[in-house]
Structures are given as C-alpha cells and as structure tokens.
Structure 1
Amino acid sequence: MVNNKILIAGMHRSGTSLSANLLRESGLFIGDDLMNGGFDNKNGHFEDYEFVNLQEKDLRRKGFESTGLKNIENFNFEFDNQSKALIKEIIKKRETHDVWGWKDPRSTLYLLAWKKIIPDLKVIAIYRDYDEVVNSLDRRYWYKIKNKVNYDSFRRFIHKLIYPVNSQYLKYNHYKAWSVYNESILKFKELYPQDIVIYNLPIFINNYNANIDNINEKFRIKLNHFNVDKIFESDTIKHKKDNGIKFFSEKRLKNITGKLNHSADK
C-alpha cells in the first residue's frame, strides 16, 4: 500500500485550521481524536491530540512555552529520544490509510526534524499577512481577558490593567514568531522544493479545487474537489493592517513576505 504523509504547516492564526478542514473534506485523514472548536475557531482546530501533546511536551522539555510563540529564534528544533519513540507509535497507527496527515502550527518549527523521520513527507504550507496574524492573536488575548477564558477574577483584573503595555510586548514576540515560522517554511522549500507547496491563505481558499489539482499532480496523490462555501464563512477571516509603531523589524517582515510570495504556488 502506498502510504502518503502530508504535514499542514503554518504560523498560528494563519488559516491552517480552515485549510485542514477543507483538506479533510477532500479525503485527507487527519486523525480521529481532533481538538474541539472554541471561541477562536468555532468549527474546530482540526489538530490531533497525539501530535499536539507530543510537540507541546517536547517544547516544554526544551524550556519553551508550549505554544511555541516565544524565544524561539536561533534554535535548531530536533525531537528528543522520548518524542522519537512516541512518533514511531503515532505513525504505525496511521499506516492503514492511503493518504494521511496532520495539522499543528508547532510542527512548522520541526519541519526538518519531521522530514528526517519521514523521508517521503510532503508539506502543504499556508501563510498569511503578518499584521493579520498578529492582530488575530491580540484579539484572542483581549477576548480571553474580557470573557474570563482561563482567567480568574484577580488575573483578569491584572491583565486588564497591563493590557496596553503587555499587548505591545506580545505583538513584538508574535511578529518575531511569524518570522521564525515562515523562515522555517522557506528553508524547507530551499532543501526540498519538490516536497512542498506554499499558498497564501486567500489564494488557497479562493482557488481551492485548482490548488487541489496542483497538489495531486505534484505529490501524486488523489484528493477530491470540495465546495468551499459549505464550511467557509468569509467574515471569519479579518483583514486588518497594523498602522501602529512596530518594535520589530518591518524590513525583515517584508523581506520574508516577498520570498513567500515568490515561492508560492499560484
């Protein structure tokens, strides 16, 4: 049996949940135990708990936050031996599927590590404008404060007080994380150009079935066409540029965007 493996990569809040949902509808098996939806992804995150738990624990053992959003620059992400043993078990469970894959933004940090473990791995990478990603993360932070999501009354009060300053601090880290995640995608493209497709989120959605044809041809798989309108609500994606002061190099952000646009599949 041909056993095709697809990793759906992309920075947090880049539309990877929507993309994973569409690919699932097109016939890509992405797991049985998927993370439920929430206020930030009403239809679901489409992340298999086995992959999420694996990568969160690996990040924590390395001294990082489990989100993979802070202090991640200049680090070579490799799995430790404990994670490698679990990965073997996870892969074995999915060997009965012709085409299977997974989505977890943290996997983007480990792209080259995953490729070492799964030499025939293919990647569908989704990217989104850096301001839209960072503003989406900021809206999520404010929503959690406002609606007491994972905040008790005291913590909520403190975070309301510090929000103006803490919001800027988090934005700085999130712009940096956007750079690291998307540079990881570009590095994979440089090393394995035949094993990755890169799409800007609106282009991936608006030309979905044509893109499926492109993916099928490049990866030699058979995903199905699907009517995007059945699950996608256009107002779920906010298009908001950040015109405020950036405490992170916009030159670097624009340079990465230019490389992504140049490397992207049309």
Structure 2
Amino acid sequence: MSNNVLIITGMHRSGTSLLTQWLYRCGLHMGNQFLEAGIGNTQGHYEDVDFYNYHQRVLSEHDLNKDGLVTTPLQSLSEAQQQSLRRLIREKAASQVQWGWKDPRTCLFLPFYREVLPDARYLVILRDYKSVVSSLIQRRYAESVHKYERKGGLPRLIWKHCKAPYRKEKLLRKHSEHNLKVWISYNEAILQHLLQLPPSAYLVVDHAFLANCNRKVFDHLSATWNFRLDYYNFNTLYKKSLISERLDITSYIKDPSLLQKAADIQCRLQALAL
C-alpha cells in the first residue's frame, strides 16, 4: 500500500490522546470524526470513531468487555471481521496519502494490523505501570464524583460525608490487580509485536520524557518516515496539572509476581525507547 500510515500504540491512560492531538495539530490526518471528550480526558480522546467502533464491536462479538480492559489479546478474527477490517483500511487509504489513528484497543489487534498494513509505522508510547494503574483508579473515582455531583441534595451529602472518603480505598482493593494484569497484557502484546518488526518500523517514546523529546519525535516522523508535517509547539498542549496524583497501588497487588513481570516488561520496552 502506497499510503504513509502511522499507528499510535499504547495502553489506556498512557498519553495516547495527548500524542495524537499533537500530531493532528502538526497536520497528520487522524480521522474524520473523533470520540468526544469525557471524564478523565477533558481535552478530547482524539480517537477515530471508525476504528473505535470496529474494535468495540469485535470485542463484544468475542464476548469481551468492549472497553478493552481485558487481560488477553484477541487470538483470531472471523472471516467477516477480517473483511470488515480490510474494508475500513481501504476506505481510509482511498481518501488520504498520509494518515493514522489511535485507540488503545489497537494493542489487542496488532497481529491483524501487521498483516493488513505490512508497511505501517508504529509510534509507541510507554507509561510506567504504577502510574497507569493509578490513573485508571483515579478515573473511576472521578466518575463517581461526577455521578453524585449531578444528583445533588441528600445523595450528594451522603456521598460527600459517608462515601467519598472511602471510595478510593475501595476502588484500589477492587481494581488494582486486574488493571495491572491489563497493563501487562497490553504491553506484552506491544513488545511481542515490536520483536517481529524491523527497528525502522517503530519508535518508542517514554511518557515521562515526551515533553522534552517531542522535537526528536517530530524530526523522526518528518526526516526518517517522510511524513509531511509542520511542527506544533507541544508545550501549548501539555498540561502537567491534568496528570492525576499517583496512588500507591503496590500494597493492593496480592500476587507479587505480577509486579515483577510488569517491571520486566517495562524495562525491556524502555530499552527500546528514545
């Protein structure tokens, strides 16, 4: 395929929205319609709704949660699902010479995109597992706050004085280990994917250094991968105040081997980063 295609690849809450918004501002076509902003992502998700809808539909057809917070990537696609994916790719390629998309659920479909788009480039953003798990918990907490704030009256008072002080603790106990397993699944899938690609086909960026190395990312996309872009000041989009406080999740992980596995995967991906 003659198109120049960039696939933004990364776990939920890893900065994929920020990275995609920046590239969109630099002039890269990232979709005709984006998913609207929401709780925990007030600047917008910048997810192409066509890929978003496709991923959600396929996950649901495989009896998996369509939010993508699952612990196992897809093992296969039906013939109809493969045809639908190829049709979606053809439609995108027909309208743009250079284009891309982001949806964290892409990580669950990487073997299929590797087959359908053998010449695609992958821009991977890596965020440490403690921050990602914490951010997922904080988003759930923010959803609870929003729900009770809308109710007002007595439910709001009960929330404020009786439920709110204990909600984060409850969420940490309930979701920390599962969210860590999700992080492991996503980033293990990314790592295995990269090992099957030539180094020239991917670029890994550490979320912690994105504010300082975005110019290197831009130069790589422009000079090495030949995307026609105009540099947009990344610092006008990056707002440190929007990054939630990192909660201590380690004491809520019952299986310590999961922490070691996450640390090992993180170390291997960091070794590939800028």
Q: Is the 8 A contact 1:10 1:125 kept in 2?
A: yes
CA deviation profile, 1:48-88 (whole Å, cap 9, x unmatched): 11111100111111111011213x23x54433223222223
Shift of 1:226: 1.4
Supply the AA of the counterpart residue of 1:147: H
Q: Which residue of structure 2 lines up, in the alignment, with residue 182 of structure 1?
A: 187
Which runs of 4 or more aligned residues in structure 1 lie more than 6 Å from their structure 2 counterparts after TM superposition? 159-163
Structure 1 residue ranges without an equivalent (≥5): none
Structure ranking higher in helix proportion: 2
- The alignment's C-alpha RMSD in Å is 2.7
Q: Is the 8 A contact 1:134 1:174 kept in 2?
A: yes
2:248 to 233, 242, 254: 242
Q: Which residue of structure 1 lines up, in the alignment, with residue 124 of structure 2?
A: 125
Q: Which residue of structure 1 lines up, in the alignment, with residue 65 of structure 2?
A: 65
Q: How does 1:101-180 map to 2 (within 5 A)?
A: 101-148=100-147, 164-180=169-185
Q: Is the 8 A contact 1:127 1:199 kept in 2?
A: yes
Q: How does 1:74-85 map to 2 (within 5 A)?
A: 75-85=73-83
Supply the AA of the counterpart residue of 1:178: W
Shift of 1:244: 4.2
Q: Which residue of structure 2 lines up, in the alignment, with residue 199 of structure 1?
A: 205
Q: Does 1:257 align with 2:266?
A: yes
Supply the AA of the counterpart residue of 1:167: L
Which segment is superposed worse, 78-87 or 31-40? 78-87
CA deviation profile, 1:146-200 (whole Å, cap 9, x unmatched): 2218x997xx98x978864453231111101111111111111111032111110
Structure 2 residue ranges without an equivalent (≥5): none
Q: Is the 8 A contact 2:110 2:193 kept in 1?
A: yes
Distance 1:48 1:113 in 2: 18
Shift of 1:30: 0.8
The count of residues paired between Structure 1 and Structure 2 equals 262
Identity rate, percent:
26
Distance 1:27 1:162 in 2: 42
Q: Is the 8 A contact 1:7 1:124 kept in 2?
A: yes
Distance 2:254 2:229 in 1: 42
Q: Which residue of structure 1 lines up, in the alignment, with residue 84 of structure 2?
A: 86
1:221 to 215, 218, 227: 227
CA separation of 1:13/1:226 partners in 2, compared to 1, >3 Å: closer, same or farther?
A: same
Q: Is the 8 A contact 1:55 1:106 kept in 2?
A: yes
Name which one, 1 or 2, has greater alpha-carbon Rg.
2
